[in-house]
Structure 1
Amino acid sequence: MHVLPGKLPVLLMGIVCITEFHVVPFVLQKDPKCGQKVHETNPWSYLNLFTRIVGGSQVKQGSHPWQVSLKRRQKHFCGGTIVSAQWVVTAAHCILERNILEYLNVTAGEHDLRIRENGEQTLPVKYVIKHPNFDPRRPMNYDIALLKLDGAFNFSSSVLPACLPDPGEKFEAGYICTTCGWGRLNENGVLPQVLYEVNLPILNRKECSRALSSLKKPIQGDTIMCAGFPDGGKDACQGDSGGPLLCQRKHGVWILAGVVSWGMGCARGWIDNEKKKYYERGSPGIFTDLSAVLSWIQENMSADLKMKSSTPFCGVQDGKLPDSEGELHFPGSLKQFYQNHQLCVWTLLVPEGNYILLHFSHFDIEPETFCDFDSLSVYSKDNRLLGKFCGGDLPLPILIGSNSIRLKFVSDSKDYGTGFSMMYKALTPHILPNSGCESIAILFEEGVLQSMHYPEQYSNLADCQWIICAPEDHVIKLSLVDLTYQHLF
């Protein structure tokens, strides 16, 4: 790939190595342990940080049974790692496209992309969970996502899960770990059709930060970890976005320590970056540190299990919330994404003679000009649409002149968000003189409206809105009793 001056190509670094394989005894359990495989590699643990690995070759089929290929209409575009029969870990930047679920499939047991081999399994994706702190404008931080499969992989000698790290588990600087994928074998080379693995030493945070600070746009992040050889070399190659960085415990199982994210160039050293032009500088391979996002992964995987064992609001036609006040969090956690193809209905019912105040503290629903894709709608008790909301901005508080309303959430198949959180509260009508200021008041009955503090002066920078609803085939008559406002000349 030709690198233009001033451009930051998303290229993922690695080292291709020749590895001698041997077959170890393997007995497949009904519930197999993670991190075990048929074809083992000779251990590289605790080699000197600057040891050079020369040459390269492809791996044998089954060498990385947790490796998956993310495919767009049967074409490989990113890697991923199996962590359970129904969950795959990948990079968030791999699944940014709006309609990705319409064509995304995950293939396990893949080795040669040109042919269908024995042991391959392909499943569609039910939904995607990107880390809520991932920002496409700064895609190197929190670059991680979970794929919930629509179905489950059948574990075999060629399809097995990798282990997640234990809480607090770290691999020290100099520890040699392995990443694998179908990435380019050199910066301007062609894509291989068979799976390759690359072996890289972990860098300490100081070395990682120093290397990244030498780039034209220095990179910082809470979840970044680095691996690679400082002096680069012709034996280095590009890895594969979304794929695993695997570290083997001493005489033990393989741990998913990181997710392949990005790198500057391929096989470029970074020792003398300051002496190079910006577009010639290199970087280590950059990975998302699994230990930094482990709790988020476990929360979302366990939340899915809890959802299966309980009846959520969306599992029934009408969920009634009859209290005078309360909270509604959908889908249940600010870190959890709602699913596609959902229809969720809640009825808020407060004591007779009271009005309802809605106040939103979190709002993240797929944006669209007319909210025709995903939306939260508010209906009166006689089924009139009072408001329809989507996007990422918090709606103003809503005061509704009725003791009962219905909330309806719908989602399509194209995108997703983290839903909404709101508080609702019963209010008596005597607060109406100040209603509509810093909120929207929706009124159904005949009455009197007054500006804030009337008959005293209203406050500066006030923003007061009232919506008056009348039955069908009626008109609304407004009679001004007193109107005084500031004149501008």
Structure 2
Amino acid sequence: MATWALLLLTASATAVVASNRIVGGADASIETYPSIVQVEHLDYYSIWSQGCGGSILTPTNVLTAAHCIYGPPMRIRAGSSYRESGGTVINVESYIMHPDFNKLEFLDADVALLRLEQALVYGPGIQPIAIYAQGVEVPDNSAVVHAGWGQTQSNGVPSPILQDVTVYTVNQEECARRQATQYLTVTDNMMCAGILDVGGKDACQQDSGGPLYHGDILVGVISWGIGCAQPEYPGVSAKVSAFTEWIVANAV
């Protein structure tokens, strides 16, 4: 099988932060986020349906959340701003879930790699995303961006067009303290983001597996939250830089 190099950045790399960017979000174009893909599953009625997001790492590897793996058949849709329409559709050949997924804490190590049956062809709406080297941290209160086709309010309906929204990274200890009031654990493999004590902007159901961007760098994989866009509870993503070495070793 052919291999492609992953786009890795060191801690000193510059991240250009997007401004004013799916609860509380706005319509977005796939050309703005060409690394995002829709992850679709075949349901009991033999209908393909988008239920998660993912991010292109190489022409044949997509990063998503481990909890998005319901088993085959699966496929991805790349290069389209519209949910379940247009773009390039490629079947998933196989997948690898992180071996520590759900072992120590609920939804810990919530990352997985999808291997595609054929290589994506890069263009304006299909591009790989860079990730940080192992252990690089995004500072507290940094502007970060969620993107996806998920529900626009908790227990609502998914968006027909790609959405984006700007939120801010939340201190790990503060996030862990708040989530602990609901008997949930934030591990060092997770990162939190939201509009603390304000709410109104967040990822939501069916955004799982999709990206959290720090500028043009993928720093998080949308994982879980208490509702969506709650003032008290930031959303939680798997921290990509906690898994860089595993990603590089397996994205071949």
TM-score range, shorter chain: 0.7 to 0.9
User: If the length of structure 1 is used for normalisation, what is the TM-score?
Assistant: 0.45
Partner of 1:3: none
Query: What is residue 86 of structure 1 aligned with on the other side?
Result: 60
Superposition RMSD in Å: 2.6
CA distance in 2, matches of 1:235, 1:151: 36
1:147 aligns with 2:104: no
Aligned mate of 1:292, from 222, 226, 242 = 242
CA distance in 2, matches of 1:269, 1:60: 28
- Which residue of the other structure, out of 209, 214, 217, is the alignment partner of 1:247? 214
Structure 2 distance, partners of 1:171, 1:137, is 24
Kept in 1: contact 2:53–2:208 (CA 8 A): yes
* Match of residue 219 from structure 1: 185
Report the alpha carbon displacement of residue 56 of structure 1 after superposing the two structures with TM.
3.8
Q: C-alpha separation between the residues in 1 aligned to 2:245 and 2:24?
A: 38
Gaps of 5+ in 1: 1-30, 36-41, 46-50, 249-253, 271-282, 305-489
Report the equivalent of 1:277: none
Which letter does structure 2 place at the counterpart of 1:175? S
Structure 2, unmatched stretches of 5+, are 9-15, 43-47
- 1:187, 1:237 within 8 Å by CA — same for their partners in 2? no
Partners of 1:136 and 1:151 in 2: CA distance: 32
Instruction: For 1:266-305, list aligned pairs within 5 A.
Output: 266-270=228-232, 283-301=233-251, 304=252
1:35-79: CA deviations, max 9, x gaps?
Answer: 9xxxxxx8458xxxxx9xx96421124221000001113210110
Q: Which gives a bigger RCO, structure 1 or 2 (Cα 8 Å, sep 6+)?
A: 2
Which amino acid is the alignment partner of residue 147 of structure 1? L
1:200 aligns with 2:200: no
Find out whether 1:122 has 2:122 as its counterpart: no
Q: Is the 8 A contact 1:34 1:160 kept in 2?
A: no
Q: CA deviation at 1:298?
A: 1.0
Structure 2 counterpart of 1:130, which letter?
M
Which of 189, 199, 224 aligns to 1:262? It is 224
Shift of 1:185: 1.1
Partner of 1:177: 144
The residue that corresponds to 1:363 in the other structure is none
Cα distance in 2 between the residues matched to 1:148 and 1:33: 14
Rounded Cα–Cα distance in structure 2 between residues aligned with 1:32 and 1:62? 22
Aligned length: 234
- The one-letter amino acid paired with 2:234 is P
Retained in 2: the 8 A contact 1:83–1:89?
yes
% identical aligned pairs:
32
Report the AA paired with residue 157 of structure 2. V
8 Å CA contact retained: 1:186, 1:237: no
For residue 158 of structure 1, the aligned residue among 97, 117, 125 is: 125
Residues 1:104 and 2:74 aligned together: yes
Q: Distance in 2 between matches of 1:292 and 1:32?
A: 19
Larger Rg: 1
**Any idea what the Cα deviations from partners look like across 1:234-253, whole Å, max 9, x if unmatched?**
455626000011112xxxxx
* Residue of structure 1 equivalent to 2:41: 72
Say whether the 8 Å CA contact 2:6–2:58 is kept in structure 1: no
Name the counterpart of 1:60.
29
- How far apart are 1:136 and its partner, in Å? 7.4
Could you tell me how far apart the structure 1 residues matched to 2:202 and 2:224 are? Answer: 14
Change over 3 Å in CA distance of 1:66–1:104 after alignment to 2: same
Is contact 2:132-2:219 (8 Å) kept?
A: yes
Q: Closer, same or farther in 2 for the Cα pair 1:159/1:288, shift >3 Å?
A: same
What are the superposed Cα offsets for residues 319-369 of structure 1, whole Å, 9 maximum, x if unpaired? xxxxxxxxxxxxxxxxxxxxxxxxxxxxxxxxxxxxxxxxxxxxxxxxxxx
Aligned to 2:197: 231
Cα deviation digits, residues 81-101 of structure 1 (max 9, x gap): 001111000000000x3xx22
Could you tell me the TM-score, scaled by structure 2's length?
0.84
